[in-house]
Amino acid sequence: MSAERAVVLLAGKVHPRVRERVEAEFEAVSVDTADIKALSEETRNRITGLAAATRISAEFIDSLPNLEVIANFGVGYDAIDAAHAATRNVMVTNTPDVLSDEVADTTIGLLLNTLRELPKAEAYLRAGRWAAEGGYPLTSLSLRGRTAGIYGLGRIGLAIAQRLEAFGLPIHYHTRTQRPDVAYTWHPRLVDMASAVDILVVIVPGGAATEKTVNADILNALGPQGVLINVGRGSTVDEPALIAALADRTIAAAGLDVFADEPNVPQALMDLPNACLLPHVASASVATRNAMADLVVDNLIEWLAGRPALTPVPECAGFDRASG
Ligand code: NAP
Ligand code: 8YV
């Protein structure tokens, strides 16, 4: 008889590679939505691992009395109540580093598309308008001569900064703590950075500390030549304030990969000609999503085998396996 396998819950629309590997390694249980109440008490009591692709509240965590580890699909874990998990000695892991270059590459693409209107120029060609009407109109915005401000200079922010440096742009950043390892201009206050730059790239985590911090004051400070790029979380930007700022040209344009209420994007935003919109695809290549999926499952395997987690979130970084 083989040893009894740990029971792992697949919560939400999990990546196929997570499902396949969890089914091979563990006894897998699925909930389509975050509706944990659909599971019997007996099943909930047997669950020790959780692969998360949905919001995981304190109530959800408390409904699994023997839970030991939550492995989140994504580096951003604002959808997981990690502080509550930590109080219960439940390890939480995320997927840092494996997606940083992909997200940074996408950010540069989104920035260029926003400034140089490349998706609109392609649509113009495909509609036969080049042959019928002549060349696409010259774009009023360009990357040339600009200064970039990065809100969040962590793993991904630094990868974005390095790319923008190669494009010849001076780099400023705002974080709570100045980095000792970069020569970029640090601003202790976001509003001061917004005044000093004409590109504002948002790549901070979501959550209470950053919620709606990009508000009307920040957009005002960014100014009429200003371009906002958000690849962090939609919650960080006051979306109605952004729509107003784009409509009255308080800022010139915005490129957005993330939104306040995904996948619902306000019609007012979609109607704006100076908004370039992507459906949260910054990490969405097959290779990068597979690497994220592997890290989710490898974290589950390590922790449930009694070894340290590979990528614990800061709230759980001090846990050793004996306390988990
Ligand atoms: P990270 O390495 O933890 O970096 C976070 C950065 O934000 C740090 O520089 C941190 O510096 C700064 N920060 C955090 N809270 C702040 C605050 N209240 N005010 C000012 N700065 C603050 O994280 P990462 O790996 O670069 O990922 C960043 C975020 O990108 C994720 O959390 C996720 O939300 C988002 N993301 C989005 C996509 C996408 O598909 N669009 C993909 C991946 C990640 P201090 O601690 O010094 O303040
Ligand atoms: C993913 C992300 O799109 O890692 C993150 O924080 O936002 C993205 O890589 C998301 O986590 C899964 O849909």
pTM of the predicted structure, to 2 decimals: 0.97
Q: Minimum mean pLDDT among 20-34, 54-68, 96-110: which range? A: 20-34
Among the residues of 76-140, which ranges form H helices?
82-87, 100-116, 118-126, 129-133
Identity of the amino acid at 83: A
11: pLDDT confidence band, cut at 50, 70 and 90? very high
Query: What's the 223 CA to ligand 1 centre distance in angstroms?
Result: 24
Look at ligand 2, atom 5, and give the residue with the nearest C-alpha: 74
Which ligand 1 atom sits closest to the C-alpha of 210?
A: 18
Q: State mean pLDDT over 122-136.
A: 98
Higher pLDDT, 192 or 3: 192
Higher pLDDT, 322 or 137: 137
The CATH number for 233's domain is: 3.40.50.720
Which entry of 21, 233, 302, 315 is annotated as an active-site residue?
Answer: 233
89/74 same-domain check? yes
Separation CA 15–CA 121 (nearest Å): 34
Q: State mean pLDDT over 133-162.
A: 98
Which entry of 17, 46, 280, 321 is annotated as an active-site residue?
Answer: 280
Mutate to test the pocket of ligand 2, among 110, 283, 289 (most ligand atoms within 8 A of CB): 283
Which ligand 2 atom sits closest to the C-alpha of 281?
A: 3
114/263 same-domain check? yes
Q: State mean pLDDT over 43-49.
A: 97
Predicted confidence (pLDDT) at residue 1 exceeds the cutoff of 50? no
Residue 323 lies in a domain: no
Query: What's the 262 CA to ligand 2 centre distance in angstroms?
Result: 12
78/106 same-domain check? no
- By the 8 A CB rule, do 200 and 214 touch? yes
Separation CA 240–CA 198 (nearest Å): 21
What integer pLDDT is reported at residue 34 of this predicted model? 63
148/208 same-domain check? yes
Query: What's the 237 CA to ligand 2 centre distance in angstroms?
Result: 17
- By the 8 A CB rule, do 167 and 112 touch? no
Residue 149 lies in a domain: yes
40/73 same-domain check? yes
Residue 324 lies in a domain: no
40/147 same-domain check? no
55 flagged as catalytic: no
104/226 same-domain check? yes
262 flagged as catalytic: yes
Indicate whether residue 2 lines ligand 1 (CB < 6 A): no
Strand partners, 29: 9
Listed in sequence order, the residues at least 6 apart from 168 whose beta carbon sits closer than 8 Å to its beta carbon are none
Predicted confidence (pLDDT) at residue 52 exceeds the cutoff of 80? yes
21 flagged as catalytic: no
Query: What's the 79 CA to ligand 2 centre distance in angstroms?
Result: 11
Predicted confidence (pLDDT) at residue 322 exceeds the cutoff of 70? no
Predicted confidence (pLDDT) at residue 318 exceeds the cutoff of 90? no
Indicate whether residue 262 lines ligand 1 (CB < 6 A): no
Higher pLDDT, 251 or 323: 251
Strand order in the sheet with 171-174: 185-186, 171-174, 148-151, 199-202, 227-230, 253-256, 275-277
**What is the extent of the structural domain holding 58?**
3-96+286-316
Query: What's the 216 CA to ligand 1 centre distance in angstroms?
Result: 21
The number of domains in the chain is 2
Q: State mean pLDDT over 238-244.
A: 99
Indicate whether residue 75 lines ligand 1 (CB < 6 A): yes
164/151 same-domain check? yes
